[in-house]
Structure 1
Amino acid sequence: MIETRMPLSVSVVAPASHTNPQLVDEAVLALETLGIKAHVPSTLQVPRRYLAGSIQHRLDLLHAAYDDARTEAIWAVRGGYGCAQLVEHIEWARLPAKPLIGYSDITVLLDQCYRHGLPAIHGPVIKDALRLGHDADESRTTTRRQLLEVTDLLAGAAPRQFSLRRYDNTSPGIIEGPVVGGNLMTLACVAGTPCRFVAPPGALVILEDVGEPYYRLERALWQLVHSGALDQAGALCLGTFEGCTSYGEQSLADIVADVTSPLNLPLFTDLPVGHGLINRPWQYGKRGRIEGNTLVFS
């Protein structure tokens, strides 16, 4: 059976760190093999330190991407650092309801989109399409599947479901609420700022990270807990923590359970979301339901 999809046209943005332009070009060509036309402005990046450009430059191109009548979504090249610098300058009221796609540092903008009533998708960035050229079959096929899941979500596909596991093996019954969250360190770093993360009532909060030792993850989580960011959350769901250095034999889930114990939050693990090869896309703020070992997006 031949798989067919409607062509998709997207605006490419670089709101955070700088990326080698050659890699951007290669990733865009890879996306074209999936029927995705990525529109890249000629001045996408004007490097400033490790950033893709000055605040004004990145802001102007973000606004222009939303204004582009040819495109149906806004897709970030990568994360890194820089999105929080843009938040207070974005003209949210003028932006059309085009979904923003990305993860990692893009978490800040995804959360702000949700707050301003705009659609957003936590999922692969443009740069991830480079894996379509990898020699390893698993890398190619998994990346292709996840990128096509993004196009399915943009096309209004039926709700998806993810498997997960309850930390203490008890059954908390059915838990429902908006699904929010993202990169733990990014969310912790904006605590106390105008773009701070605050979980809405009953929220199912997803957390993931990469390359951090456990003590730094605990520090970031402590900051979220004691800043009140998770006070109204309904559950905590851990994705992958790629390359995060353990401490002794204690698991990260044990540490998370300890730090969040004052909140008495149901804790789940093994969600297929994060910085590794497995990073399935999901609609930020979409209502979800945890029942048994499954998270279903409604």
Structure 2
Amino acid sequence: MDEMIFPKSLKKGDQIAIISPAGAVEEKQLQKGLEIIRQKGFEPVLGKHLYTEFSNGYSYAGTEKERISDLNWAFNNDGISAVWASRGGYGCQHLLGHLQLSKLKKNPKWYIGYSDNTVIQSFLLKNNFVSIHGQTIKTSNFGVSDESYDLIFDILKGEKPDYKVESNPLNKKGTAEGQLIGGNLALIYALLGTPYSFNFKDKILFIEDIGENYYALDRMMISLELAGVFRKIKGLIIGGMTYMGDEKDNKNYAESFDGFAYQLISDRLKKYGFPTLFGFPNGHIFDNKPLIIGADIKMQIEDQVKVQFK
């Protein structure tokens, strides 16, 4: 495995580009998140098409050309120290064949986001760049935990997370070390068989999702199995599974870690022996603690559960 590229630590006054690579976003939805960045001592710089709206079967934050333009500007502008996605939604896959990273290699910078941003993070990983799987700017508008943002700024300043996680009865005990990959399950599934798919061999895979019917969750798990993913990975971390199934029938619909979704996943993994951690606090949930995609981790699953970044 090639050595991963970690950006240099940010210092007060550094500029953070705010871009919308997927769904449209309103200015009022970002006000709180932008203020958090300012309060931490950094300067948010808004992409030209941050608030653009283009309707084409979905409300995108601009045409593909406009969104690509903003992302390439952010990646290749020497004055920018980090790039933070305003939101996810749908549309990041449109950009994959058009991303330009030539200047990024000379001036690496953090990319921050989750959900649909998983595909951009997979692209970055293939080019040996780490990224932060954590809150977008818009999610601050939902009243999420302050710590989920504080921990992102800790990473930007050069710290690496060290998490203790509540034990779950579905866990498979053991210890695994390796590179962390993954993100949103629907996007991991969507990339299978493409040049942009994650390389799963000897990796520790993280998955999370939101708003999926149970049969769709099962289909994605089976697809990963048929693709040989579970024969390749060294460990699995399952994060948030929320708003799953039918709201009328699911009394746990709004819970962060849907019990039936977890049982479906556990059932699909019965024949595999790798360490498996359920209930990691990352995903479309209130307490979304950031992960560094592409970093090496050690996961220890015993009566006490730890995830340590190296």
Q: Give TM-score scaled by structure 1 length.
A: 0.86
- Counting matched residue pairs gives 283
Is 1:296–2:279 an aligned residue pair?
no
Instruction: Tell me if the contact between 2:203 and 2:233 (Cα under 8 Å) persists in the aligned partners.
Output: yes
Cα offset, 1:151, TM superposition: 1.1
RMSD across aligned positions (CA): 2.4
**What is the match of residue 40 of structure 2?**
34
Identity %: 25
- Kindly provide the amino acid, as one letter, of the partner of residue 245 in structure 1: G
Moved more, 150-159 or 88-97: 88-97
Separation (CA, whole Å) in 2 of partners of 1:8 and 1:278: 26
- Kindly provide the amino acid, as one letter, of the partner of residue 163 in structure 1: V
Is 1:57–2:66 an aligned residue pair?
yes
Cα offset, 1:28, TM superposition: 1.7
Is 1:151–2:160 an aligned residue pair?
no
Moved more, 70-79 or 47-56: 47-56
Is 1:286–2:286 an aligned residue pair?
no
Separation (CA, whole Å) in 2 of partners of 1:284 and 1:218: 24
Cα offset, 1:156, TM superposition: 0.8
Separation (CA, whole Å) in 2 of partners of 1:257 and 1:122: 23
Q: Return closer, same or farther for 1:279/1:295 CA change in 2, 3 Å cut-off.
A: same
Gaps in structure 2 of 5+ consecutive residues: 1-10, 252-258
**What is the match of residue 110 of structure 1?**
121
Moved more, 89-98 or 160-169: 160-169
Separation (CA, whole Å) in 2 of partners of 1:163 and 1:239: 11
- Kindly provide the amino acid, as one letter, of the partner of residue 103 in structure 1: Y
**What is the match of residue 176 of structure 1?**
177
Separation (CA, whole Å) in 2 of partners of 1:169 and 1:208: 16
Separation (CA, whole Å) in 2 of partners of 1:166 and 1:27: 32
Q: Where do 1:1-298 residues align within 5 Å?
A: 6-49=12-55, 50-95=59-104, 96-131=107-142, 134=143, 139=144, 142=145, 144-165=146-167, 167-168=169-170, 171-172=173-174, 174-199=175-200, 201-245=201-245, 251-291=260-300, 292=302, 293-298=305-310
Secondary structure of 1:175 counterpart: strand
- Kindly provide the amino acid, as one letter, of the partner of residue 295 in structure 1: V
Q: Return closer, same or farther for 1:168/1:40 CA change in 2, 3 Å cut-off.
A: closer
Gaps in structure 1 of 5+ consecutive residues: none
Q: Which runs of 4+ in 1 moved over 4 A?
A: 166-170, 246-250
Q: Return closer, same or farther for 1:121/1:248 CA change in 2, 3 Å cut-off.
A: closer
Secondary structure of 2:80 counterpart: coil
